Amino acid sequence: METTRNNRLIAEFMGYELEETLTDNIFVYAIPTINNNLDFFEPNELLYHSDWNWLMKVIEEILTVSLELDAMELYLGIIDCIPDFEVTYRAIIEFINWFNED
């Protein structure tokens, strides 16, 4: 449950909105792929908690936000965590919670 909530927090930080599919009345996130197609994920199918490829896109977005807010210390704190996936994931959640409070 906490993982799903955290992954939803990340998806919303990334600008993805929850959409309702017309056929199944299921709420999903539409996430662009590398070739700009859309993949649809139910909230419990988001892979931020288990896939470096998903997490690295978030780190890139955090860099952009950090540069705009002059918050590079927070970004560098996340970068320092990178060898450990779980610690990096938690640092990202902390950053997003901080960002949402401001």
User: pLDDT tens digit string along 28-73?
Assistant: 777 766 666 777 787 788 899 999 999 999 999 999 999 888 888 8
Task: Please return the burial class of 88, using the count of CB atoms within 10 Å of its CB with bins 0-12, 13-18 and 19+.
Answer: buried
Separation of alpha carbons 97 and 16, rounded Å: 17
Q: Tell me phi and psi for residue 40, to 5 degrees.
A: -110, 130
Domain range for 41 is 2-101
Query: What is the total count of domains within the chain?
Result: 1
Q: How confident is the model at residue 98 (pLDDT cuts 50, 70, 90)?
A: very high
